[in-house]
Structure 1
Amino acid sequence: MTAAFSVSAATAPQLAEAVARIADLAAKLGRSRDEVLVPEELHFASGVPLDVVRALLQGRPAGEPDIHKRFRQRLDLLHETYLKENGRKFSHGEIARQSGISRQQVQAMLGGDRRPTMDHCSRLERFFGRPAGFLQSEDTEALSCALAAVEKSLLQEYQEHSERGALAAAPAGPRRPSLYERHGVDGIALRAALLPDQGRTRLLEWLDNYMDERAAEGEQDPAGGTR
Structure 2
Amino acid sequence: MPEQEIGSSMEAPDTPAVQDVAAAAASLRAEIARLDLPLDDVIDHAKIAYETAIPEATVRKLFAGEPVSHEDLNQSFWERLKFLRETRRRPDGKVYTTSEIATEVGASKEMIAKLLSGERKAGLDLSASLETFFGVDAGFFTISGGQALLAALAPTAQRVELLSLLRGRDVQGVAARGGLTDGSDRLTEALRAEIAGRTHVGDPDISEIAMTVRSLPAGRRSSVLGTIKSVLGLVKSED
TM-score for the superposition, normalised by structure 2: 0.59
Give 1:78-117 correspondences, 5 Å limit: 78-117=84-123
Q: Tell me by how many angstroms 1:79 deviates.
A: 0.5
Question: Of the two, which has the highest radius of gyration?
Answer: 1
Give 1:1-227 correspondences, 5 Å limit: 11-21=18-28, 24-25=31-32, 28=35, 31-65=37-71, 70-152=76-158, 155=162, 157=188, 160-167=192-199, 169-171=200-202, 180=206, 184=210, 193=220, 195=222
Query: Equivalent residue of 2:143, what SS?
Result: coil
In the alignment, is the contact (CA less than 8 A) between 1:47 and 1:74 conserved in 2?
yes
In the alignment, is the contact (CA less than 8 A) between 2:58 and 2:72 conserved in 1?
no
Q: Which amino acid aligns with 2:27?
A: A
Q: Tell me by how many angstroms 1:102 deviates.
A: 3.0
Partners of 2:107 and 2:25 lie apart in 1 by 37
Q: Tell me by how many angstroms 1:165 deviates.
A: 2.6
Q: Tell me by how many angstroms 1:105 deviates.
A: 1.6
Root-mean-square deviation over aligned CA pairs: 4.0
Unaligned runs of 5+ in 2: 4-15, 163-182, 227-239
Matching residue of 2:171? none
**Per chain length, whose mean CA-contact separation is higher, i.e. which structure has more relative contact order (CA < 8 Å, sep 6+)?**
1
Partners of 2:17 and 2:73 lie apart in 1 by 16
Partners of 1:163 and 1:58 lie apart in 2 by 30
Query: Equivalent residue of 2:139, what SS?
Result: coil
Q: Tell me by how many angstroms 1:50 deviates.
A: 2.7
Change (3 A) 1:60 1:83: same
Alignment length, in residue pairs? 184
Unaligned runs of 5+ in 1: 1-6, 172-176, 201-227
In the alignment, is the contact (CA less than 8 A) between 1:12 and 1:56 conserved in 2?
no
Cα deviation code 1:150-200 (max 9, x no counterpart): 324655836544442332x223xxxxx99x4596567776x963736xx99
Partners of 2:73 and 2:40 lie apart in 1 by 30
Matching residue of 1:211? none
